[in-house]
Amino acid sequence: MPTYMAVTDLEGSLQFTSAVTIEKFGFKLEDVIGTRFDQMVWWEYSEDVQERMREVVSEAAAGKSIEFEVDL
């Protein structure tokens, strides 16, 4: 099973994502850098997941280390 990984800034804007993520969704890295993590196309299937992503970014911005799994 592939591992998708992303790095955001404190506001939740995507700064980096793994090559496997880019390949899966057919993006170019430069096309998604700066996009809010909770608004990425891969979360469109669920508003609950989008809300969880907003929570995760907020927790990380507060200094909490975050690691979790979610279905894509």
| Structural domain contains residue 23 | yes
5 vs 37: CA distance, rounded Å = 11
The answer to whether 34 and 13 are in contact (CB under 8 A) is yes
| Structural domain contains residue 68 | no
| Structural domain contains residue 71 | no
Q: Hey, what are 36's tokens?
A: 């809010």
How much is the pLDDT for 11?
A: 86
| Structural domain contains residue 56 | yes
The single-letter DSSP state of residue 67 is -
Give the chain's mean pLDDT: 87
Cross-strand partners of 13: 36
Phi, psi values for residue 16, rounded to 5° = -160, 150
Based on the structure, what is the number of domains in the chain? 1
How much is the pLDDT for 25?
A: 86
How much is the pLDDT for 27?
A: 87
Mean pLDDT, to the nearest integer, of 48-53? 90
pTM of the model: 0.74
Domain hosting 26: range is: 6-61
Mean pLDDT, to the nearest integer, of 31-60? 89
| Structural domain contains residue 1 | no
| Structural domain contains residue 54 | yes
